[in-house]
């Protein structure tokens, strides 16, 4: 029961709409109309799409926020249900980010949130994960989908190996069966989000061009007549 509570708590924390809140704040600060990240640019409410539309500063804030909520969710799960609670909450956080019920299950791709959970759930593997993702991105010439598929497959394999060998994971929880279950569930939903994003119909050229106009270029015209 405690593990189930941890998973539910992780989902709630993971579903926190970081990108939506930061986007609205950025628009209000600039005195401009807010941008719907699900309808603009790539259509993904994540840090990269926000960086392209709002600027890299806002994208970095969203990235940090998504990673933080993954780490906080995992820590909360550990407090509630121990080692297995850590893994359950980490899985719940990624699922909550990718499929938040408050937004009609239209969330982000979960990479940043997953990285945040790994800092708590599987810290020993983090250097390998980052190096592998960077190398795959370079070899695939920036194909994020390819890098994600390769990194996910190796991540699940490493988690299974860690559990079978009972290897330590620095400050992370003990490698129970929850570790490969966490790796498999988070990798599965992230892969699903990338696959469905690639299968989505492309926007018409004119619409796509309008969607990628920076927010500052969308300032509404003044209603006051010219002098």
pTM: 0.85
Q: Could you give the CA distance from residue 92 to residue 106 in angstroms, rounded to a whole number? A: 16
pLDDT at position 200 is 65
Could you please report the per-residue DSSP string of 107-126? ----HHHHHHHHHHH-GGGH
Written as six digits, the tokens of 119 are 């800092």
Between helix 178-199 and helix 144-165 the angle, nearest 10°, is 170
- Number of domain units in the chain: 1
What confidence tens digit (pLDDT) does each residue in 102-136 have?
Answer: 989 999 999 999 999 999 999 999 999 889 888 88
Distances (CA, A) of 218 to 21, 27, 57, 206, 225: 19, 10, 18, 16, 19
Look at residue 162 and tell me if it is in a domain. Answer: yes
Q: Does residue 214 lie within any of the structural domains? A: no
Crossing angle for the helix pair 56-98 and 178-199, nearest 10 degrees? 110
Tens-digit pLDDT profile for the chain (227 aa)? Answer: 999 999 999 999 999 999 999 999 998 887 878 888 998 888 899 898 999 998 999 999 999 999 999 999 999 999 999 999 999 999 999 999 999 999 899 999 999 999 999 999 999 999 998 898 888 878 877 788 888 899 999 999 999 999 999 999 999 999 999 999 999 999 999 999 999 887 766 544 434 333 444 444 444 444 444 44
In a domain, 58, yes or no: yes
Dihedral over Cα of 5, 11, 86, 64: its sign = negative
**Residue 80 within any structural domain of the chain:** yes
Report CA Rg, the chain. 19
Question: Is residue 32 situated within a structural domain?
Answer: yes
What is the crossing angle of helices 56-98 and 18-30, to 10°?
A: 150
Q: Does some domain include residue 134?
A: yes
User: What is the tens place of the pLDDT at every residue in 188-204?
Assistant: 999 999 998 877 665 44
Which element (helix H / strand E) includes 135?
helix 126-139
CA 57 to chain centre: 17
Instruction: Provide the domain limits for residue 199.
Output: 2-205
Decide if 26 is inside a domain: yes
Identify whether 71 is part of a domain.
yes
Of the candidates 123, 160, 110, the residue with the CA atom closest to the CA atom of residue 10: 110
Buried b (16+ CB within 10 A) or exposed e, 95-125: bbbbbbeeeeeebbbbbbbbbbbbbbbbebb
Q: Enter the DSSP assignment of 224.
A: S
Cα gap 111→125, rounded to integer Å: 15
Compute the distance between CA of residue 122 and CA of residue 136 in angstroms, rounded to an integer. 21
**Locate tokens 């969607």: which residue?**
211
């Amino acid at each position: 029961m405690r593990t189930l509570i941890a998973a539910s708590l992780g989902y709630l924390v993971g579903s926190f709409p970081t990108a939506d809140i930061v986007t609205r704040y950025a628009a209000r600060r600039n005195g401009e109309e807010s941008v719907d990240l699900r309808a603009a640019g790539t259509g993904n409410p994540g840090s990269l799409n926000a960086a392209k539309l709002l600027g890299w500063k806002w994208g970095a804030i969203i990235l940090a926020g998504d990673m933080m909520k993954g780490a906080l969710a995992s820590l909360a799960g550990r407090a509630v249900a121990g080692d297995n609670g850590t893994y359950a909450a980490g899985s719940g956080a990624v699922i909550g980010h990718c499929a938040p019920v408050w937004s009609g299950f239209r969330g982000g791709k979960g990479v940043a949130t997953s990285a945040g959970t790994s800092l708590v759930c599987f810290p020993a593997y983090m250097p390998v994960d980052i190096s592998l993702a960077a190398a795959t991105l370079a070899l695939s010439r920036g194909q994020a989908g390819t890098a994600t598929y390769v990194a996910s497959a190796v991540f699940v394999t490493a988690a299974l190996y860690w559990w079978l060998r009972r290897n330590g994971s620095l400050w992370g929880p003990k490698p129970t069966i929850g570790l490969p279950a966490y790796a498999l569930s988070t990798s599965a939903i992230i892969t699903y989000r990338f696959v469905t994003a690639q299968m989505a119909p492309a926007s018409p050229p004119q619409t796509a061009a309008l969607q990628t106009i920076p927010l500052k270029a969308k300032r509404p015209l003044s209603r006051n007549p010219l002098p």
